Amino acid sequence: MSSMMLQVMKSVRNFFDVSSEAGEFETNGGGIWLSGTYAEGQYILLTGDGRVSGVYKIATVSDGLYAIDPAPVDLQWKGAVYGLAVPPAFVELCEEIQRFRASSGKPSAYMSESLSGAHSYTRAVNPTTGAMIGWKTAFADDLAQYRKSMTYSIDI
């Protein structure tokens, strides 16, 4: 889910970041030591090294050690950690988009189908290109409320 959430955040140019800390970090055994204050269930964004860059959910907190999910690779790196305040509705939307993509990017090959009289159907395609509709198009209206018009300053 964290990979999908990162893709959606990039798409809407909104990471819901409310805090940050920069420096040297270490992930080890599924956890990370942080000097900032974060809560269980909160999402954080790690940046600076492609092997750990991404969105993680804080599972538990114990004396500055934050167990995060999914567990990152063990690594020391320079970068930044952003505390995120992701709205629950956005998390649910990301989960819905992930289910949409898991079903080959379409809930059905058809938008509508009629079996009365002559058999007819309408495919779920982009009317301009004829290509199957992807998640960005299928969820455009839902994503619009989260979209920031400016570019984001977080380097992923």
The Cα 84–Cα 128 span in angstroms is 37
The beta strand positions in 36-94, using DSSP E, are 43-47, 54-62, 65-69, 75-84
How confident is the model at residue 132, as a pLDDT? 72
Instruction: Specify the pTM.
Output: 0.80
**Residue keyed to tokens 């995060």:** 68
| pLDDT 10s digits, 75-97 | 999 999 999 999 999 999 999 99
